[in-house]
Each structure stands twice: as C-alpha cells, then as structure tokens.
C-alpha cells in the first residue's frame, strides 16, 4: 500500500516527463546549412505522468544524416533507490538523445499529437545551440535534480535556448493573465481528472499558490510553445519561422466523463454520510472510526514527510495538515476514551474548525471536495472528547 501511494505521488510530482529514451552517442560535428532545430511540443496523454504534456528539441540535418530529439524528461522507475530518492526530493532526470522517428512513433502510438516549431537561427546560432546540447548530453552533465515547477523538461529547453542568445530573447508577456498562481496554471490539465486534481491540491502546499512570474508560465510545455511563438530574437526577428502539426489530421481524443467513483466530491460526501450513519450502531461506529482515523492519519503522515523530510519545494507549508494530522495514527486503535485522548480530540476539533472558518483567508487553495470530511472530523472529534 505504501509503495503504491508513493508511486502515485511520484507520478503526480513528475508529470512533466516522458518514458525512458535511448541514449545516443555524444559527438560534435558541423551542421550543414540545411539543418533545422525545432521545439517539439507533445499534447497531454491519458496516463498521469503525461497529464501536462512534454517538450523536446529536434535537430534535423538531412545532409549529415542526423534527425534526433534531445529529451530532458527521461527517468527510470527501475533506478536504484527510486522511491527513496523520490521521497527525499532527489529524483534524477536525464537528457537523452533519441532518434526522431522513435520519438514521433511512440507519441503517436499513445494518441498524443505534436506541434513542431522551427526556430529562426543563423548557421552560427544553430551550431552553438547544437554544441550546447551535446555538452549537456555528456555523462557528467546529463543528470539533474528534477523540480516540478522550476527545473523540468520545459524549463531546461527555455534556459538553454535563452543561453544560446546570450539571455537576450524577448518574450511577449502582454497576453499573460495577471495574478495567475502556479496552481492556476495546472487547472486546465487536472480538471478532466478530478482525482488527480484532488490529489495535487492535497499534497502541494503554499508555494503552489505563489503568483507566477512571466518565465514561470514556461514550466508547462504548452506555455513554452506559446511564449516561443510570440518571442523575438535580439535582432527583433520572430524566434519561430514555421510551425506544423504532427500528424496533419487531428487524432480523435476520448473524452470520458468521470462516473460516480471518478468524482472525489461525491465519494467523500458518501463517506461522510456513512460515518454519520455508523453512529447508530456501536460496533459499526468502532470499525468506521478505526479505518477513518487511520486513513486520515496516513494521509497526514505523507503530507508531513513531503513538507519536513524532503527537498520538494512545492509540498512545503501545507495547511491541509490542519485537518489531516499524522498523529491520528496514534488514536485509531484506541479501545477506551482516556483523558489524553479527550484532550487530543478537542484540539483536533479546534484545528479542523479553524480550517473551515478561515477557508477563504488561508493563502493556500485547498481541495473543496474535502469539506465533508473536515466536517466529519469536527463531528467525530467533538463526540469523542466527551
């Protein structure tokens, strides 16, 4: 159960990734005048790890027989100590070289269309960007510590292209929505899957509600695509000179509306009602309480560890711990109401009540679907303190 929960969180926090790619031999050569460098933007997929799309750079030089993608979003679930490294916020991602035909084929097989933007580069700029990528792909340089918002497959491309222009690329920020938080930027991708949205709102803390800077919009592949489309080079020329969809015809997308079990608001409301109904039978009440406080305490333990025991920046300062205390794990097994347990549940009721009363004032956006559970926490805690 623990490993499955950690795997879910790993997928949620590493969703700007793609599957493992083959590493090509790193060699530097001179590109021909026919060479093109493109930004490849891959549409979101059906799996959790692909929910936010993906970005890569493609170099196509037919005269030199080169057509490859530089992919900063590769990781391996089979790497040693994967779960330990994830939990500690030390998960390593890599830049891998992959033949473009494999990159295109795997995404098309997954039903994920792409957009290719050809960058407006002089021969010297193409060569220097190519050499920067080759240097990044060296064994001693290719690995980096992944960060969900600030160091991923999209931000790495933003930074290396900007570096190639000496930091002089100009991005048009006039169309960016002001006062947009990092969590707001995630909404269009999490909304189709309510459980994903609930899980992300549960484990991502206050830093996720930080107002996004203009460069932060490019942590998402679609944001990187849009900003590149409107960017200009130091000479004032458009950064992108051509764009094409891959494939030419749209891929039919499945839009499956979530059923009852796919909506956390409905499921959690039913759990809360079940908890109230269990009060009518002493044995049912004990069974429900044991399961309820254990699950709630386990969720709180995961959130507390992500805050205090890891390097993850997005999971710090999580106000959901007001109602999902990890200490609930210490009381789920109780067989009688001792004095300290009554005091404990008094504190529990007060903290959960504060979470509800201050809901609109807490600077962190918390999952609305959890409100029935918070109400149940208050009701059960008040009952158990007596």
Q: What does the domain layout of the chain look like in residue ranges?
A: 2-246, 260-385
Contact between 339 and 175 under an 8 Å Cβ cutoff? The reply is no
Residue 19 — pLDDT band, cuts 50, 70, 90? very low
Place of tokens 């998402």: 220
Per-residue pLDDT, 341: 83
Residues with Cβ within 8 Å of residue 149, at least 6 apart in sequence: 182, 207, 208, 216, 219, 313, 314
Q: How many residues does the chain have?
A: 386
Backbone angles phi and psi of 296, in degrees to 5: -65, -40
Per-residue pLDDT, 14: 53
Backbone angles phi and psi of 203, in degrees to 5: -100, -20
Residue 236 backbone zone (phi > 0: left; psi -120 to 50: alpha; other: beta): left
Contact between 198 and 205 under an 8 Å Cβ cutoff? The reply is no
**Does residue 254 have a pLDDT over 90?**
no
Cα distance between residue 372 and residue 171, in whole Å = 44
Q: Dihedral through CA 4, CA 21, CA 18, CA 262, nearest 10? A: -40
Model pLDDT for residues 168-206, shown as the tens digit of each residue: 999 999 999 999 999 999 999 999 899 999 999 999 999
Contact between 219 and 150 under an 8 Å Cβ cutoff? The reply is yes
Model pLDDT for residues 100-124, shown as the tens digit of each residue: 999 999 999 999 999 999 999 999 9
Cα distance between residue 292 and residue 376, in whole Å = 10
Mode of pairing for the β-strands spanning 143-145 and 92-99: antiparallel
Residues with Cβ within 8 Å of residue 113, at least 6 apart in sequence: 42, 43, 107, 245, 246, 247, 250, 251
Lowest-confidence segment of 4-8, 188-192, 272-276, 380-384 by average pLDDT: 4-8
Centroid of chain to Cα 370: 20
Residues with Cβ within 8 Å of residue 148, at least 6 apart in sequence: 13, 14, 15, 16, 219, 312, 313, 314
Residue 87 — pLDDT band, cuts 50, 70, 90? low
Residues with Cβ within 8 Å of residue 220, at least 6 apart in sequence: 16, 52, 53, 154, 185, 189
Reference 186, options 213, 209, 159; nearest CA is: 209
Cα distance between residue 252 and residue 256, in whole Å = 12
Q: What is the pTM of this model?
A: 0.88
Cα distance between residue 139 and residue 25, in whole Å = 10
Backbone angles phi and psi of 258, in degrees to 5: -65, 140
Token pair, residue 12, equals: 């949620």
Map residue 11 onto helix, strand or coil.
helix
Residues with Cβ within 8 Å of residue 2, at least 6 apart in sequence: none
Per-residue pLDDT, 330: 85
Angstrom distances, CA of residue 349 to CA of 174, 178, 224, 285, 378: 47, 38, 45, 18, 5
Model pLDDT for residues 44-66, shown as the tens digit of each residue: 988 777 889 999 999 999 999 99
Cα distance between residue 139 and residue 361, in whole Å = 48
Reference 55, options 45, 68, 67, 70; nearest CA is: 70
Place of tokens 């200490």: 327
Token pair, residue 190, equals: 């999490």
């Amino acid at each position: 159960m623990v490993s499955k929960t950690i795997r879910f969180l790993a997928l949620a926090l590493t969703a700007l990734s793609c599957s493992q790619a083959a590493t090509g031999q790193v060699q530097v050569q001179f590109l021909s005048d026919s060479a093109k460098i493109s930004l490849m933007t891959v549409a979101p997929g059906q799996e959790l790890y692909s929910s936010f799309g993906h970005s890569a750079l493609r170099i196509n030089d037919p005269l030199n027989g080169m057509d490859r993608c530089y992919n900063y979003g590769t990781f391996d679930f089979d790497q040693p100590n994967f779960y330990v490294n994830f939990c500690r916020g030390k998960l390593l991602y890599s830049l891998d070289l992959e033949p473009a035909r494999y990159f295109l084929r795997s995404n098309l097989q997954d039903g994920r269309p792409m957009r290719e933007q050809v960058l407006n580069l002089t021969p010297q700029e193409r060569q220097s960007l190519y050499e920067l990528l080759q240097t990044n792909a060296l064994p001693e340089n290719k690995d980096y510590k992944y960060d969900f918002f600030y160091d991923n497959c999209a931000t790495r491309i933003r930074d290396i292209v900007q570096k190639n222009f000496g930091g002089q690329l100009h991005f048009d920020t006039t169309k960016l929505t002001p006062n947009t938080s990092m969590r707001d930027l995630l909404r269009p991708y999490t909304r189709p899957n309510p459980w994903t949205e609930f899980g992300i709102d549960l484990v991502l803390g206050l830093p996720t509600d930080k107002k996004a800077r203009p460069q932060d919009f490019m942590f998402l592949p679609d944001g990187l695509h849009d900003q590149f489309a409107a960017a200009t080079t130091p000479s004032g020329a458009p950064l992108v000179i051509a764009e094409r969809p891959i494939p030419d015809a749209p891929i039919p997308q499945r839009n499956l509306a979530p059923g009852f079990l796919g909506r956390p608001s409905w499921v959690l409301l039913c759990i809360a009602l079940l908890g109230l109904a269990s009060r009518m039978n002493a044995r049912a009440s004990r069974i429900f309480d044991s399961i309820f406080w254990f699950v709630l305490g386990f969720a709180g333990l995961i959130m507390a560890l992500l805050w205090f025991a890891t390097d993850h920046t997005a999971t710090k300062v999580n106000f959901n711990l007001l109602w999902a205390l990890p200490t609930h794990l210490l009381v789920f097994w109780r067989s009688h109401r001792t004095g300290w347990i009554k005091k404990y549940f008094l504190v529990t009721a007060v903290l959960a009540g504060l979470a509800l009363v201050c809901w609109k004032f807490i600077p962190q956006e918390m999952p609305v679907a959890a409100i029935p559970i918070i109400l149940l926490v208050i009701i059960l805690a008040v009952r158990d303190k007596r």
